Homo-oligomer: A and B are copies of this chain.
Amino acid sequence: MISVDEARDRILAALSPTAPETVPLAQGWGRVLARPVLSRVTQPPADVSAMDGYAVRAADATLGAVLKLVGTSPAGHPWEGTVGPGETVRIFTGGFMPAGADGVLLQEDATADGTAITVNEAVAANRWVRPRGLDFAEGEALLPAGHRLTARDIGLAAAANHPWLAVHRAPRIGILATGDEIALPGDPLPPGGIVSSNAHALAALVRAGGGDPLVLPIAPDDSQAIAEAAQAARACDMLVTTGGASVGEHDLVQAALGPQGFALDFWQIAMRPGKPLIWGRLGQVPLLGLPGNPVSALVCAVQFLLPALARLSGGEAKPPPTLRVRAGAAMAANDKRFDHLRARLETRDGETVVVPFAKQDSSMLKTLARADALVLRAAHAPAVAVGEMVDVIPLAQLGL
Name A's B-contacting residues (CB within 8 A): 25-26, 28-30, 41, 43-46, 48, 50, 74-78, 92-96, 130, 134-136, 142-143, 149-164, 179-182, 184-187, 189-205, 207-208, 215, 221, 245-247, 292-294, 298, 361, 363-369, 371, 395-397, 399-400
Contact = CB atoms under 8 A, between A and B. Distances in A.
A294 B134 CA distance: 14
A204 B154 contact: yes
A92 B134 contact: no
5 contacts: A75-B246, A76-B192, A92-B247, A134-B361, A143-B369
Given A29-B204, A161-B186, A369-B155, A92 B245 contact: yes
A158 B96 contact: no
A150 B400 contact: yes
Contacts of A365: 43, 135, 152, 155-156, 159
B43 A194 contact: yes
B200 A154 contact: yes
Task: Pick the 6 closest A-B CB pairs, nearest first.
Answer: A76-B181, A155-B201, A163-B186, A29-B204, A151-B204, A159-B197
Contacts of A143: 369
A149 B204 CA distance: 10
Contacts of A215: 26
A292 B205 CA distance: 36
Nearest to A183: B161
B182 A76 contact: yes
